[in-house]
Amino acid sequence: MTKPSLDKDKIKFLLLEGVHPSAIEVLRSAGYSQIETVPMALQGGELKAKIADVHFIGIRSQSQLTADVLAHASRLAAVGCFCIGTNQVDLNAARERGIAVFNAPYSNTRSVAELVLAEAILLLRGVPEKSALAHRGGWLKSAVNSYEIRGKTLGIIGYGSIGTQLSVLAEALGMKVAFYDVVSKLPLGNARQVAKLLELLAQSDIVTLHVPETAATQWMIGAAEIAAMKPGGILINASRGTVVDIDALAAALNAKKLLGAALDVFPVEPGSNKDEFVSPLRGLDNVILTPHIGGSTMEAQANIGVEVAEKLVKYSDNGTSTSSVNFPEVALPAHPGKHRLLHIHRNVPGVLADINQVFAGNGINIASQFLQTNEAIGYVVIDIDAAHSDLALTKLAEVPGTIRSRVLF
């Protein structure tokens, strides 16, 4: 697919799921005016129709950009995930279509860590249950099953950006921290890494999950893992809904094996605030249920809006793909007076030679060039004299292995 350059006022952005207005401010001040916003996720035919017409799409966690949906995105240059998780996008399908995907890997980590810590404190005091009873006219003044958080062991599964932040905050409150991660990690403070998941579960008073959604984390907490937890333990999941077997958790809570739980994410989540939330955990007073709002604070959303919009602007303005989650990272400084061409191709031997032959064979001088590859694709940015860009673009499209090529400016 070969594309000539587009004026900024023709480049269309679609922002779904109530992306924060800070993103619109960034896009407008960069000169982009065609920005459509939708407060919720779109699905099926509606999503396919909308995505077919835009050059950039911004989503959060609810819009499913599957291979089927992306097959309709013939103009799409990039996806901005205005969140941390990117599991809702088929990253390989996007890459094979030459669509770069960006996210905000750090902007809401503090918000999640604060929520988890608050939930741990409330659950250890039985507050959700006592509060629910009070709302129904009950009065449960009792210290039974109420504990201080000080001295308790917090077991963190997934010691990444959120897990480490939580580790520091928990130690500041006097907790002991243990963690399990598939990668060897430098423990912060006095935290210690535990080699086996079942060992961590057996040692922890509170277990909290901070892993991404992958094949390995799918249903990683099921009946056997819950059975390995301490009697009276607490389970918190603010990672992804596919990580915990909810039926097994409901059974353990009903059997009083666990003291309580807090869930922010679910295997099936309503697509909008108007849809019904259905779960076997509904009605259990010792369970805190929140609608996937771990990262939903004004601070985090405003920061995410700026961070991801800036990445989209840089990619659109000069082809910079730094920190893309599925693309080779290229950042070529602007070269005044030159035209910039982008070429995305399958990563097979000989493509760069063929590309350079286009220029050598047509007497076109390359002012600067930068190539990066990953296991599937190569991405090269080339600056040349303006006079030759139409010819170069036509010839570049004929290079075997080409996925996309276009003139940026």
Ligand X SMILES: O=C(O)CC[C@@H](O)C(=O)O
Residues that bind ligand NAD (CB under 6 A): 84-85, 108-109, 112, 157-163, 180-183, 210-214, 216-217, 238-240, 264-265, 292, 294-295
Kindly state the smallest distance separating residue 108's Cβ from ligand X, in Å.
Answer: 5
- DSSP classification of residue 220: -
Please report which helix (H) or strand (E) contains residue 343, including its range. strand 338-346
Q: Verify whether residue 148 is a known catalytic residue.
A: no
Kindly state the smallest distance separating residue 313's Cβ from ligand NAD, in Å.
Answer: 23
Which residue stretch of 79-87, 143-151, 200-208, 374-382 sits at the interface with ligand X (rule: CB under 6 A)?
A: 79-87
Catalytic residue among 25, 199, 269, 310: 269
Residue with tokens 């659950």: 123
Nearer to ligand NAD, 84 or 399 (CB): 84
* Residues comprising the chain, all counted: 409
Cβ-closest residue to ligand NAD? Answer: 160
Q: Helices marked H in 125-240 — which ranges?
A: 127-135, 161-172, 197-203, 223-228
**Contacted by 211, from ligand X, ligand NAD, none: CB < 5 to 8 Å by type:** ligand NAD
Q: Verify whether residue 292 is a known catalytic residue.
A: yes
| Measured distance CA(257)–CA(129) in Å, rounded | 16
**Contacted by 205, from ligand X, ligand NAD, none: CB < 5 to 8 Å by type:** none
Catalytic residue among 20, 210, 292, 343: 292
Does 161 help bind ligand X (rule: CB under 6 A)?
Answer: no
| Measured distance CA(304)–CA(295) in Å, rounded | 10
Q: Which residues, numbered 36-65, are part of the site for ligand X (CB under 6 A)? A: 60-61
Does 79 help bind ligand X (rule: CB under 6 A)?
Answer: no
Question: 327 Cβ partners below 8 Å, 6+ apart?
Answer: 95, 100, 101, 321, 374, 377, 379
* Residue from the set 80, 126, 158, 295 that interacts with ligand X by CB under 6 A: 295
Q: Which residues, numbered 108-137, are part of the site for ligand X (CB under 6 A)? A: 108
Q: How many CB atoms lie within 10 A of CB 191?
A: 23
| Measured distance CA(353)–CA(34) in Å, rounded | 38
β-partners of residue 372 are: 379
Kindly state the smallest distance separating residue 2's Cβ from ligand X, in Å.
Answer: 35
Which residue stretch of 82-90, 165-173, 314-322, 360-368 sits at the interface with ligand X (rule: CB under 6 A)?
A: 82-90
Catalytic residue among 55, 110, 210, 240: 240
Q: Coil, strand or helix: which one is 63?
A: coil
Please report which helix (H) or strand (E) contains residue 393, including its range. helix 389-397
Q: Helices marked H in 6-99 — which ranges?
A: 21-29, 44-51, 67-70, 91-96
Nearer to ligand NAD, 126 or 241 (CB): 241
CA 96 to chain centre: 19
- DSSP classification of residue 340: E
Kindly state the smallest distance separating residue 185's Cβ from ligand NAD, in Å.
Answer: 6
Which residue stretch of 81-89, 146-154, 283-291, 401-409 sits at the interface with ligand X (rule: CB under 6 A)?
A: 81-89
Binding residues for ligand X, rule CB under 6 A, total 8
Which residue stretch of 78-86, 155-163, 368-376, 383-391 sits at the interface with ligand X (rule: CB under 6 A)?
A: 78-86
**Contacted by 60, from ligand X, ligand NAD, none: CB < 5 to 8 Å by type:** ligand X
Kindly state the smallest distance separating residue 317's Cβ from ligand X, in Å.
Answer: 25
For the chain, how big is the Rg over CA atoms in Å? 25
Q: Verify whether residue 269 is a known catalytic residue.
A: yes
Kindly state the smallest distance separating residue 146's Cβ from ligand NAD, in Å.
Answer: 27
For the four alpha carbons of 145, 232, 159 and 374, in that order, the dihedral sign comes to: negative
Nearer to ligand NAD, 27 or 154 (CB): 154
**Contacted by 162, from ligand X, ligand NAD, none: CB < 5 to 8 Å by type:** ligand NAD
* Residue from the set 85, 187, 232, 270 that interacts with ligand X by CB under 6 A: 85
Instruction: Name the token pair of 349.
Output: 């031997």
**Angle at CA 408, nearest 5°, toward 405 and 409?**
140
Kindly state the smallest distance separating residue 84's Cβ from ligand X, in Å.
Answer: 3
- Tally DSSP H helices, then E strands, for the chain: 13, 17
Instruction: Name the token pair of 331.
Output: 């950042």
SS3 content of the chain, % helix, strand, coil (to 5): 35, 20, 45
Does 149 help bind ligand X (rule: CB under 6 A)?
Answer: no
Residues designated as active site: 240, 269, 292
Binding site for ligand X (CB under 6 A): 60-61, 83-85, 108, 292, 295
